[in-house]
Structures are given as structure tokens and as C-alpha cells.
A and B are shown apart, each in its own frame.
Chain A
Amino acid sequence: MTLRTDPVTINFGPHHPSTHGVFQMRITADGEVITNLEPVMGYLHRGCEKLSEGRTYTQLVPLTDRLDYLSPMSNNVACVLAAEKLGEIPVPERAQYIRVIMAELQRLANHGAMTGFLLNDLGTFFTLFHYTMREREKILDLFEMTCGTRVTVSYMRPGGVLQDLPEEFMPRLRALLDELPQRLDEYEALITENEIVLARTKGVGVMPREMALAAGCSGPMLRGSGVKWDIRKNDPYGIYDRFQFDIPVGTNGDVYDRYWVRIQEMRQSVRILEQAYRDIPQGDVRTRLPLFFRLPTGEAYARIEAPKGELGFYLVSDGGIAPYRLHVRSPSFINLGVLRDLTVGYTVADAVITLGSVDIVLGEVDR
């Protein structure tokens, strides 16, 4: 006897723990297999770009905390870089080092959280997550002692950083750096060769190299597909050209490779932090600017290698104290453009981990 089946539409989200925020996937499935998937977003749209048109360049910084709220420090850096590029504002040496330290700590926190979430999606509910959150907590403690907040940091300023590091920062950073390599080994012992993880993630959500390029994917999505492209190396900003580190790349472009790239990146971040810890000089941390400083007429696009990929701020100035137009090129949003291709033909359970491996934050997707 043959059973006739109809395709079924599944509204996955917007309120679902595995969509990592208010994101919806409209899935059409034939049995277990996905035949179509439409990403629906915008539930968290707050008009950040429009809001920025009425704010001074310093006032832009708090807005950026709320974009990718898992890595506010990186957002801060990208935002002030655009203003500094257009206004040719110098940044003191010590501030440059502080920025590198903060951005790399943020990458560790972000990739840790992402890996924990991915394992949640895989069904190991909150096992690894507890461990990665433990380390993230220590990083957020460092942020808190530096600028008073853990997430909405608003720490960067055009021309430097808000204030110098407190005295106890460096010893605490040292202790964390001594601990991290061992912690990363522990994560890897749990995941990297875990038979169940391999069975679930290898060959799932495969993205060929050509697709990653033409779709404008960036960050671990791009590198997971074998493209050796890291803005810290290929288009260095700040003082990244002084640091020694490698760019890990995947080979198959599947969920596993994207996980693997991230865990290796965490090791490279520790390497960068060690160098920054060794070399950071004393001195000023901020070029003093008037509260309502103006930027010359023109445009500037500043981009950084944020934990999720290429985070760019395109700033257009008409010579006033606020931007004429500010566009945020958010990596999560553009990486989502391939979600349909990565999930069609796989099962619904695979779509969940594929989305997890894209690593989206809706604050940044919707802006």
C-alpha cells in the first residue's frame, strides 16, 4: 500500500529557542526533508541607521552596542574606525593595543557562546554551554571592571577609548590567558572527535567556495568553505599588521568546518592576546576632541573582522556634527542569504544546526 503525502508548512519561530532570537524560518517539508525555506526577519528592526542621522559621532557608539549584542566591543571598534578614517583622527598607541585586547577577548566570548549554542541545537542541552559560559563570564568581568558594564559597553571613542584599563585588569587578563589554552583543549576533547557530533555535522549544510564568494559571505562562513580571507590580515586596520597569527580554513564548507574554524580562531585569538599583553605600552588612551566635532565632507567605509564576519560602517558626511547617512554592513544579515541553499534537501533537524552554524544575532540582522 502506498501512502499519499502532502508537503507541510512549518512556521519555525519567531519564538523558538533554536532561532537564536526573533527569527522565523518558513519551512516547506516533504516528510522530514525540506523542499523550501524562507527566512523572515525584521522583528527586531529599530531603525539604527535612521537614528544615527540625528546623533553626534560620539553618540553613535551606544547604538552599536545593540547591533550584535554578543560582541559589542567589536561593533564599537568598527564604528569609531569609520569616523577616524574620514576625519583622519589619530589614535594613541596604548589605545590601539587596548582595542586589540578587547576585540580579541570579544571574539573568544562570541565563539564560545556560539559553540555552546550549536551544541544546544545538536541536543547536548547546556553541557558544553555551561563551560563556554564560564569563560565568557570571566571575559565579561574584565569588561565590567574596565567600563562598568558587561554588554552595553560603549567603550570605544573616536580617537581612542573611554578610559584607561584599571590596575587589576592586567593580572586578571594574565590569569585568563594562562587558563584558556587548557579550556580550549577541554572543549575540543568534548566535541572535535565526538562521534555523534561528527555524524550530525559532517556533510550537513555544505556551501561550495563559489557560492560563499558570490553571496558575499564573510567570517567563519567564508573560511569554512576554504577561502583564506581575514580582514585582520588582508586589509589590516588599527595595528593588526604587527601581530603573528594564522588563518584557519575549512575544506568541505559544512557545519563541522564552520565549528572547527571557530575553535581554531579562538586559539589564534589567545596568541594575539599574548602578544598584545607583552607589547602594550604606557601612555595616553585618547585623542581629545571637542564634544561636537565635525568631519569633513565625504565618505568612508571602515570594516573589521568581527567575530561573525565583515562588519562595515559606511559613513557619509556633509560636514556637520552628525552623519548624513550611516549604513551598517552586518555580516549576519548577508550570511543569511545562503540559508535556503544550505538547508533545502536536508532534514528539519539539520536546518536547526545549519542556522546555528551561521551564527546570527538578530540585533545585527534587523538593526
Chain B
Amino acid sequence: MTLALNAGDVAARVRERYPDAVLEASGSSLLVRRERLVEVARLLRDTEGLDFDYPAMVTAIDWWDYFEVVHYLNSLTRNHSLYLKTRAYGRELPTVPSLVSVWRGCDFQEREVYDLMGIRFEGHPNLKRILLWDGFEGHPLRKDFIG
């Protein structure tokens, strides 16, 4: 059984290195400050005992006041999991850092989130629409999208 790591324990390890990075830890979800996302992701990947080597899923939710970007991470070597979350504000061009440099599997998935939810991933090497065509206006998965 994949063990859902306690986010509080993980947060303690993250705070040793980046005291200001964690905003909230509940259940198995770790909410981190946007500016620190890449550093935290690297730490989760490279720390002995955490070893998150597998980016299982990337998605985003529109909560009206903010967008939440969810990374569901796995370690296949240790068989545990964690939700890594971050928030983006503003409806014009909400931005979060891209994690392609950490796990290349985020590439297409971040493009999908950009395409359908309209979140910009800073540092993504090729951020363009992937499912809809280039001339499409708007981002359909947003709650205020009118089709």
C-alpha cells in the first residue's frame, strides 16, 4: 500500500532548510509558498528518505479567489506519496513556477493546465496550448468560462 506521508513531518524537514517555505500542512497535503516551490520540489526529490522520484499527476483547481496547483508526488522506491500544493492569485495571468526542471514528466501536464485553466508556469521551456488550438480564447476549466 502506498503510504500517504504526514505533511506535518515533511514540513518539519522542509523548514530545516527553508524556514519560510511551508504555509500549511494538513493531512497529506503540503501547501508551499509559490516563490519556494522549485526549491521545495528539489528537496523532496533529493532528500534521503523522501526520494520523490515520480511526478504522478499535475492539475489545478479554480477556487474563485485563487487557483490551486496540485502536484501528486510518488516515490516508487519507498512507495509513499504526498500532495504538493501551491496557490496562484489574480485572474488575469496567475503564475506559478514550473517544475519541468525537477521532473520532466510535468512538461505536458503543465501545458495542459496552462491551456485549460490559464495558469502560467514560469520557466517552462515550451509553454503553449496542447489540447486546444492556438487561436482559442479563454480557458474552459475556469469557473467563469462561458462556452
User: Is B23 on the interface with A (CB-CB < 8 A)?
Assistant: no
In Å, the complex CA distance between A337 and B108 comes to 6
CB of B41, distance to nearest CB on chain A (Å): 12
CB of A126, distance to nearest CB on chain B (Å): 32
User: Is A235 on the interface with B (CB-CB < 8 A)?
Assistant: yes
* Residues in B neighbouring A217, C-beta threshold 8 A: 105
CB of B76, distance to nearest CB on chain A (Å): 5
- Which of A40-48, A73-81, A105-113 contacts the other chain? A40-48
Given contacts A234-B79, A235-B79, contact A216 B132 (CB under 8 A): no
On whether the beta carbons of B1 and A216 are closer than 8 Å, the reply is no
Given contacts A42-B132, A366-B131, contact A329 B56 (CB under 8 A): yes
On whether the beta carbons of B132 and A314 are closer than 8 Å, the reply is no
In Å, the complex CA distance between A367 and B115 comes to 13
- Which of B13-21, B30-38, B57-65, B90-98 contacts the other chain? B57-65
User: Is B55 on the interface with A (CB-CB < 8 A)?
Assistant: yes
In Å, the complex CA distance between A316 and B107 comes to 23
Q: Total A-B pairs in contact (CB under 8 Å)?
A: 81
* Residues in A neighbouring B108, C-beta threshold 8 A: 333-334, 336-337
On whether the beta carbons of A214 and B53 are closer than 8 Å, the reply is yes
**Which chain B residue has the least Cβ–Cβ distance from A314?**
B59
On whether the beta carbons of A216 and B141 are closer than 8 Å, the reply is no
CB of B85, distance to nearest CB on chain A (Å): 10
In Å, the complex CA distance between A220 and B70 comes to 26
CB of A237, distance to nearest CB on chain B (Å): 10
On whether the beta carbons of A227 and B105 are closer than 8 Å, the reply is no
Contact indicator per residue, chain B 103-131, by CB within 8 Å of chain A (1) or not (0): 11111110010001000000000000111
Q: Which of A47, A214, A234, A327 contacts B103 (CB 8 A)?
A: A214
User: Is A349 on the interface with B (CB-CB < 8 A)?
Assistant: no
In Å, the complex CA distance between A312 and B72 comes to 11
User: Is A141 on the interface with B (CB-CB < 8 A)?
Assistant: no
**Which chain B residue has the least Cβ–Cβ distance from A316?**
B61
CB of B48, distance to nearest CB on chain A (Å): 17
User: Is A50 on the interface with B (CB-CB < 8 A)?
Assistant: yes
On whether the beta carbons of A42 and B131 are closer than 8 Å, the reply is yes
In Å, the complex CA distance between A17 and B59 comes to 32
* Residues in A neighbouring B53, C-beta threshold 8 A: 213-214
User: Is A12 on the interface with B (CB-CB < 8 A)?
Assistant: no
Could you write out 27 A-B pairs with CB less than 8 Å apart?
Answer: A41-B130, A42-B133, A45-B132, A47-B140, A50-B116, A50-B141, A211-B104, A214-B53, A214-B104, A215-B103, A215-B105, A216-B55, A216-B103, A216-B109, A227-B76, A235-B1, A235-B2, A301-B57, A301-B72, A325-B62, A325-B141, A327-B57, A327-B59, A334-B108, A334-B109, A337-B107, A367-B131
B interface residues (Cβ-Cβ under 8 A, vs A): 1-2, 53-57, 59, 61-62, 70, 72, 76, 79, 103-109, 112, 116, 129-133, 140-141, 145, 147
